[in-house]
Amino acid sequence: MESKEVPGISTDVMTGTGWFRRLVRSLPNYYSTLALIFFNCLLLFVIINLIADAALEMHSQKKKADAQKGTPWSYRRFHDSLTRVYPGLTNDQISKLMVETRHLRQEYESYTEFRESPCNGEYVNVDVKGYRPIKNQGPWPPTTDKFTIFVFGGSTAFGYGVADDMTVASRMQDLLASEYGIAANVYNLGRGSYFSVQERVLFEKLLLAGYVPDMAIFIDGLNDLTLYDGVPARTRNLRAFMDEGEIPLITKVIKGLPLMKATKIAMSSHDTGDVKIQDLFKIASPSDRSSIMQGVAKRYFSNIKLTEAIAAGYRVTPVFVWQPVPVYAYDRKYCIFGEFDYEGQLPALKPGYDFMARTFAEHPPNKNVIWAADIQQNLKMPLYVDAVHYSPEMTTILAKFILDTVMSRGLYEESLNRRQNRIDKSHSFEKQFQAGPAQE
């Protein structure tokens, strides 16, 4: 049946399609309006995040500036005063050494948490096996044809600020040959920010992998007090990374926006949950500071006992050195960084060394624990290339002091006996293995 047109009423109304046609005709206008609103919102969003990013950069630069008011931690480029601690290098060579040191990076490593990433430079190198090469570096894995020493420690043992051939480990190998006529292979296993507990873990890893030295020397003190809570330097980063794994991707993206980061900083400016341990020490009461120092000492000497027990099982002679630092038994007027704010940036260092000095005096440790903190007491010369790291002169002084003490206390002879026992036992085991099970 055909529909009939009614006079005065459009066909669209009768069929109910008029509203739809009007909607279709108006869509371009709606789209243009919505697109303009969306574009303006997006542009505003980008501008706000750019402003937030700039604010974050300013905040970061301000923190760095506040942290290094006055004398800096180190010079990022050549400075005239550096010629006093690098007497054998030209200005360009000093600059290159500083650049290579500054470009050092760290990567994840199981159990110890992190280590220096492999790198190749003119002055600074890190082997893929995890050690820093020295002058006339011995083979890896170590062989039994020469006396072998592993040197553990933090960045001072690694040798931040000095070339490969001027680290404590390198100078030890040179001095063993020149002063004592001993052919030895020394390995530099120092790593930035390591303290005594991490070094023991690294020692265990190496033993477990079959890399057994004759002597293991642990150089500590600075980082045990800088990280007085006993938590490795990168733990916070690793914890944050693990926490991130449980967060949805969209949440990660949102949290990563400059605007969100800036908002978080603004809202947490008075939050004490993110305070550095250095700041916590500064506000600690005298009794709390005393407890902190006692905790550091207890952990250090307990770690020595654990290391000694492990070393005994492998017939390795462990040597523990409490290292020198610029705030103890040293006239800082000779230090080119003597005006650095040690009390503000490393507040636990000076009181910690005073406490450990009393502890060593009142409770003398075993002969394999060496107090080296005061070897610079009468040295009227610059001994540091930055606020805490040793100059080439100082690495030589420290290396010689350690070796002289090791020799005078009979530790080298003791180590030779252990070495021979280990080699004999190894040969005996090999013969038994080759012979197979006994026949009845």
| Least-confidence region, from 4-8, 127-131, 264-268, 284-288 | 4-8
Confidence at 29, pLDDT banded by 50, 70, 90: confident
Confidence at 74, pLDDT banded by 50, 70, 90: confident
The reported pLDDT for the residue numbered 82 is 96
Nearest 5 degrees, angle CA 267-CA 270-CA 276? Answer: 110
Distance between CA atoms of residues 395 and 85, nearest Å: 11
| pLDDT digits 0-9 by tens, 355-401 | 999 999 999 999 999 999 999 999 999 999 999 999 999 999 999 99
Indicate if the pLDDT at residue 440 is higher than 50: no
User: Helix, strand or coil for residue 317?
Assistant: strand
Cis peptide before 382 (omega within 30 of 0): no
Report whether 116 contacts 191 (CB < 8 A).
yes
Confidence at 439, pLDDT banded by 50, 70, 90: low
Report whether 186 contacts 214 (CB < 8 A).
no
Domain 80-265+276-427 falls in which CATH fold?
Rossmann fold (3.40.50)
Indicate if the pLDDT at residue 429 is higher than 60: no
Of residues 432 and 229, more confidence is placed in 229
Distance between CA atoms of residues 238 and 258, nearest Å: 22
Confidence at 273, pLDDT banded by 50, 70, 90: very low
Mean pLDDT score across all residues of the chain: 88
Closest-CA residue to 101 (of 56, 155, 52)? 155
Q: How far is CA 53 from CA 43, 202, 253, 271, in A?
A: 15, 40, 15, 22
The reported pLDDT for the residue numbered 44 is 81
User: Helix, strand or coil for residue 175?
Assistant: helix
Confidence at 32, pLDDT banded by 50, 70, 90: confident
Which pairing describes strands 317-322 and 215-220: parallel, antiparallel, or unpaired?
parallel
Distance between CA atoms of residues 336 and 57, nearest Å: 30
User: Helix, strand or coil for residue 171?
Assistant: helix
| pLDDT digits 0-9 by tens, 151-198 | 999 999 999 999 999 999 999 999 999 999 999 999 999 999 999 999
| pLDDT digits 0-9 by tens, 121-135 | 999 999 999 999 999
Distance between CA atoms of residues 373 and 387, nearest Å: 16
Distance between CA atoms of residues 340 and 150, nearest Å: 32
Structure tokens at 245: 């794994």
List of residues 6+ apart from 306 with CB closer than 8 A: 200
Of residues 33 and 94, more confidence is placed in 94
Of residues 292 and 71, more confidence is placed in 292
Distance between CA atoms of residues 201 and 111, nearest Å: 7
Confidence at 252, pLDDT banded by 50, 70, 90: low
Indicate if the pLDDT at residue 277 is higher than 80: yes
| pLDDT digits 0-9 by tens, 80-94 | 999 999 999 999 999
User: Helix, strand or coil for residue 375?
Assistant: coil
